[in-house]
Homo-oligomer: A and B are copies of this chain.
Amino acid sequence: MDFELIKKLIVPAQTKIVLLVLDGLGGLPLVPGGKTELETADTPNLDSLAKRSDLGLSQPAGPGITVGSGPGHQAIFGFDPIKYEIGRGALEVLGVNFPLKPDDVAARGNFCTVDSDGIIIDRRAGRLSTTISQELAELLRSIVIDGVEFFIEPIKEHRFAFVMRGEGLRAGLTGTDPLEVGLADHPVRALNPESEQAARYLNEFVEQARHLLAEKSPANMILLRGFARLPELPQYSEYFGLNPAAIALNGMYRGVSRLVGMTVLEVPENTIRSEFDTLEKHWDEFDYFFIHVKETDTCGADGDFQGKVQVIEAVDRLLPRLLALNPDVVIITGDHSTPAVMKSHSWHPVPLLLFSKYVRPDGFAEFGERVCAHGNLGIMKAREVILLALANADRIKKYGA
């Protein structure tokens, strides 16, 4: 997508767009010849909407490429996830809902166990309890180095998110984690001259951490890897003229939404119903809403076919509340497929539904993988879906005369 071109073609409108993402929506039959999770689910509302919509399949990053949820969301938000790579460190930090700034250097942190010679004997420090991890994080927060600030956010067990904040820091850096036991941790090395200052700060931090934790057990050292800064993503308001809001429960999705300039709304309860409450409550304040449903992916990754079916059915029951708001454009899709039978993300293109007053429905009264494969949208790049949404919302003017 040529963002500069799109920016020139965008025109203001009073229309509203809703993007409903069922994480890991695409699936597979449990047995050859069977139905997928979506095809199995009893979804009268989705089916009725499908009959009045354009259908197709969306492909996050091309044939055969399986994406994580970060890249999957980047794609469905309109950004090539290969070009705008979000480094592991940045994703980890976004996942704890930390307000990462463009100049911050983020990393994935582990507490680990080293012997008296500094040789790593357990990279995960026996998966120490999150409580202990929090105490150790507090200790690390006492490290002070002139010129930079550090943030340590425990995640779970031995894992923590790490952020270094300062002026002009670059993240062309190698990690300290040798990724196997029997070796000492590596010093951070700069991969380019611009990153040398960051490497010095980090090595000083690591040495101070080594001393601070030396007497602790089992976690007496840290490992840092996946150093990354945020990619600078074109902002929705600037490039698409939208005032966008995100409704998501999990940190990483909230983080990626914030990255493209969405206002991340507070959701009172940890339920899909509460997400739809939030949509209704804020309907008048924004013109684009991203709603994220996590459980489809969770069930898929757990191999829980029936659970995934039930989550889809639960969303189907809530759909009339969304439609009652009279959105001009509704997109329903996933960020990638997570077939329960695979217990993992997969490369399969994802069912895609587009509703607006400008559609040419095929008359298929079903929302499912096989029907979508015959839909008139064909197999689309996920990152081009936003263009269709904007066009159907009367927000893109003609190119040329």
Question: In this assembly, does A214 line the interface, its C-beta being within 8 Å of a C-beta of chain B?
Answer: no
A28 to chain B, nearest CB (A): 6
**With contacts A2-B82, A374-B374 known, is A66 near B360, CB below 8 A?**
no
Question: In this assembly, does A42 line the interface, its C-beta being within 8 Å of a C-beta of chain B?
Answer: no
**A401 and B362 contact, CB distance less than 8 A:** no
**B400 and A67 contact, CB distance less than 8 A:** yes
**With contacts A81-B399, A396-B347 known, is A64 near B391, CB below 8 A?**
yes
Cβ-defined partner of A63 (8 Å) among B5, B347, B387, B399: B387
**A358 and B399 contact, CB distance less than 8 A:** no
**With contacts A347-B391, A370-B376 known, is A398 near B360, CB below 8 A?**
no
**A342 and B358 contact, CB distance less than 8 A:** yes
**A82 and B5 contact, CB distance less than 8 A:** yes
For A345, give the chain B residue with the smallest CB separation: B398
Cβ-defined partner of A401 (8 Å) among B29, B57, B88, B360: B88
Question: In this assembly, does A380 line the interface, its C-beta being within 8 Å of a C-beta of chain B?
Answer: yes
**With contacts A347-B391, A358-B346, A373-B362 known, is A398 near B33, CB below 8 A?**
no
Assembled-state Cα–Cα distance A346/B398 (Å): 8
Assembled-state Cα–Cα distance A5/B198 (Å): 27
Question: How does the 8 Å CB contact mask read for A378-397 relative to B, with 1 for contact and 0 for none?
Answer: 11100011111111100011
Residues of B within 8 A of A398 (CB): 66-68, 344-345
Question: In this assembly, does A148 line the interface, its C-beta being within 8 Å of a C-beta of chain B?
Answer: no
Main secondary structure of the interface of A (DSSP, over half): loop
**With contacts A360-B370, A400-B86 known, is A52 near B68, CB below 8 A?**
no
Residues of B within 8 A of A28 (CB): 358, 360
A142 to chain B, nearest CB (A): 30
Question: In this assembly, does A333 line the interface, its C-beta being within 8 Å of a C-beta of chain B?
Answer: no
Assembled-state Cα–Cα distance A361/B36 (Å): 11
Assembled-state Cα–Cα distance A267/B71 (Å): 46
Question: In this assembly, does A85 line the interface, its C-beta being within 8 Å of a C-beta of chain B?
Answer: yes
For A375, give the chain B residue with the smallest CB separation: B373
CB<8 Å pairs between A and B, sample of 17: A28-B360, A32-B52, A32-B361, A64-B392, A64-B396, A66-B398, A66-B399, A67-B400, A68-B401, A70-B400, A81-B400, A88-B401, A344-B398, A346-B391, A347-B388, A360-B369, A362-B373
